[in-house]
A and B are shown apart, each in its own frame.
Chain A
């Protein structure tokens, strides 16, 4: 019979622990399943809420920025334009805030049972993805209503955009989750952080409407900009701005590497300090 041998020793070299994550893949599923079930059981509006929230924002922004300020969005009507940005932004912000809070939320389990801790922020991101899929469906409905032409070739662009948001959100979320365990008052900075990131994302305005090139490059450090850039390129068929996407991909890489590195480095002591 195959024997599992576990070697326990003081924390040493850094490793990703992918093999172990794979062994525990079912737990990933169960945590995500639990979060989805609980979330939609607890709110009366349930799934409706995941739809109403981006729609409300869409109407508000359309009223403000399309009618009053007349922002030029090229070949896409403003409601579709802003909705495409909103659903990606919501995915990013939900991933960060769910993941950031996740370790504290599950502290009682962490103190009692061992499993690869990355599963917790990971399944928090998957919960955000579940909400996103409903928003994405509404987005498709609005594309249809406004007769926005759809092509099969836009699909890879959509997927690329979503992937960037997921990876960046997971990286930043894991980082914040670890920080939150160590410094319990850090969580109060997250809403502020998200607000800054929101206004630096091209959700309500297109990046190309900014006249200062240096500012565009600076804003591109926000990975959501690259994601929205790719997503909208799929929508309109317009060429992708490689500088924006390149910078965004770079910061995504930085986020995921530092996020997971910091998380893995501190996770051994979570049970002692959580």
Chain B
């Protein structure tokens, strides 16, 4: 059997001018005039969002795509779903494609829930007859049947999302492309949708390509994973191997965040590093070492106290620890560096990554950086050496009491 998705030497080049919000005719005219007077011309900057991508996915395989922001994950999905054309190379897609780059695409606030099911469904590629047939299950699944004939503008955002997910969960293409859509909405309903998608895909052998930052979700759904970095495939292997490798590579040198996103923020985390007790940078720790998460908060004009939230993730199990701390206000246009210590004799040999967020008093996010940096607890030279069984994630001495 031929692969469901076959990608050969695919590349996508963007001109940087296209990254502008839009091009105005007057700019174009001004540019032409400029060119007239400078024979060298104005050079357009270009960059390859994707380069030399070769990938072959068999029917029924569920493949995750992971990588940092800007690695080209979404571009790849956009090319496969034909939203944007490649610059080089080609791809063959064998089967009906359903793409879910955003839930609720085309929802219109003036139309009722029922009308929006038809509109959204047909935009996503369902035939009218298919929607007719599934209408009742879609409405049932969404849990908004009471309001189904009310215009969408009267729905809460949660209700809109449930309706959108519900339509999406009932798509029945042979190849399903999902981008990050499961990052929103309440957990309970997300689980329901994931469950539904999994059920369908297992039963019908549907091919799934799933882009997410959520390694746990990738691990739950996918068997294999592709790791992209700077537009290239670094690894294509089983989901365990790829996610582990990914966690190890989110490391030094990558902890400085792009400037453009930070310039607009009132307060943000400008750098992150991991240090040992002697304040030396380190990414692999022993079990008996304290792990210092050292990071700098840069304040532009935030005047009130804020909360620093630290989340610890381990690739396959997701978020395993959170810790919040209220910080007093820091003066405007200044920076402050702090270290949060993870105690020794606490984590077991695994790969971990760290999320840091800054929140205001009503828990609104001021800044959030996910998988900002990662580290490993080494197996060697610890009390775990040689242990053949699952040693979990956290090891903590318990409080024992003689209860005779």
Q: Which residues 10-33 of A sit at the B interface, judged by CB distance below 8 A? A: 10-11, 26-27, 30
**Given the complex, which residues of B lie within 8 Å of A34, measured CB to CB?**
108, 111, 115, 119
Q: Which residues 268-288 of B sit at the A interface, judged by CB distance below 8 A? A: none
Does chain B have a CB within 8 A of A113?
yes
Known contacts A3-B94, A183-B24; decide if A8 and B122 are in contact (CB<8 Å).
no
- In the complex, residue of chain B having the shortest beta-carbon distance to the beta carbon of A183: B25
**Given the complex, which residues of A lie within 8 Å of B96, measured CB to CB?**
4
Q: Residue among A8, A42, A183, A186 with the most chain B CB within 10 A?
A: A8
CB distance from A185 to the nearest CB of B (A): 4
Encoded as 1 (CB less than 8 Å from any B CB) or 0, chain A from 94 to 114 comes to: 000000000000001111111
- In the complex, residue of chain A having the shortest beta-carbon distance to the beta carbon of B173: A4
**Given the complex, which residues of A lie within 8 Å of B81, measured CB to CB?**
113-114
Known contacts A26-B127, A34-B111; decide if A273 and B122 are in contact (CB<8 Å).
no
**Given the complex, which residues of A lie within 8 Å of B24, measured CB to CB?**
183-185
A11 to B85, CA, bound (A): 7
A186 to B118, CA, bound (A): 34
A271 to B18, CA, bound (A): 11
CB distance from A61 to the nearest CB of B (A): 34
A15 to B306, CA, bound (A): 58
- In the complex, residue of chain B having the shortest beta-carbon distance to the beta carbon of A107: B22
Consensus secondary structure, chain B interface? mixed
Q: Which residues 222-274 of A sit at the B interface, judged by CB distance below 8 A? A: 268-269, 271-273
A7 to B26, CA, bound (A): 38
Encoded as 1 (CB less than 8 Å from any A CB) or 0, chain B from 388 to 403 comes to: 0000000000000000
Instruction: Determine if A273 and B110 form an interchain contact, defined as CB atoms under 8 angstroms apart.
Output: no
**Given the complex, which residues of B lie within 8 Å of A5, measured CB to CB?**
92-94
A115 to B110, CA, bound (A): 23
**Given the complex, which residues of B lie within 8 Å of A112, measured CB to CB?**
83, 99, 101-102, 105
- How many contacts between A and B, using CB within 8 angstroms? 112
- In the complex, residue of chain B having the shortest beta-carbon distance to the beta carbon of A27: B122
**Given the complex, which residues of B lie within 8 Å of A26, measured CB to CB?**
122, 127-128
CB distance from A223 to the nearest CB of B (A): 25
Does chain B have a CB within 8 A of A37?
yes
Known contacts A5-B94, A27-B122, A185-B25; decide if A37 and B111 are in contact (CB<8 Å).
yes
A263 to B90, CA, bound (A): 23
Does chain B have a CB within 8 A of A69?
no
Does chain B have a CB within 8 A of A195?
no
Does chain B have a CB within 8 A of A41?
yes
Does chain A have a CB within 8 A of B95?
yes
**Given the complex, which residues of A lie within 8 Å of B82, measured CB to CB?**
6, 8, 114
Does chain A have a CB within 8 A of B84?
yes
Consensus secondary structure, chain A interface? helix
Question: Interface size bucket, B side?
Answer: 35 or more
A273 to B84, CA, bound (A): 10
Instruction: Determine if B83 and A113 form an interchain contact, defined as CB atoms under 8 angstroms apart.
Output: yes
Which of B28, B90, B106 is the one whose CB lies under 8 Å from A109? B106
Q: Which residues 355-377 of B sit at the A interface, judged by CB distance below 8 A? A: none
Which of B18, B79, B92 is the one whose CB lies under 8 Å from A7? B92
Q: Which residues 75-89 of B sit at the A interface, judged by CB distance below 8 A? A: 78-89
Does chain B have a CB within 8 A of A182?
yes
**Given the complex, which residues of A lie within 8 Å of B57, measured CB to CB?**
none
A269 to B25, CA, bound (A): 17
Instruction: Determine if A9 and B90 form an interchain contact, defined as CB atoms under 8 angstroms apart.
Output: yes
Instruction: Determine if B102 and A273 form an interchain contact, defined as CB atoms under 8 angstroms apart.
Output: no
**Given the complex, which residues of B lie within 8 Å of A184, measured CB to CB?**
22-24
Does chain A have a CB within 8 A of B14?
yes
CB distance from A145 to the nearest CB of B (A): 36
Encoded as 1 (CB less than 8 Å from any A CB) or 0, chain B from 249 to 261 comes to: 0000000000000
Instruction: Determine if A8 and B85 form an interchain contact, defined as CB atoms under 8 angstroms apart.
Output: yes
Encoded as 1 (CB less than 8 Å from any A CB) or 0, chain B from 339 to 351 comes to: 0000000000000
A245 to B305, CA, bound (A): 75
Q: A27-B122, A269-B18 are in contact. List 8 more A-B contacts (CB 8 A).
A: A4-B97, A8-B82, A26-B122, A109-B105, A113-B81, A183-B28, A271-B78, A273-B18
In the complex, 18 of the A-B residue pairs with CB atoms within 8 angstroms, ordered by the A residue number, are A6-B93, A6-B97, A7-B91, A10-B86, A26-B127, A41-B110, A109-B106, A111-B83, A112-B99, A112-B101, A112-B102, A112-B105, A113-B83, A113-B124, A183-B28, A268-B84, A269-B84, A271-B84
The 9 closest A-B pairs by CB, nearest first: A183-B25, A114-B82, A184-B22, A6-B93, A8-B91, A9-B90, A185-B24, A30-B122, A268-B85
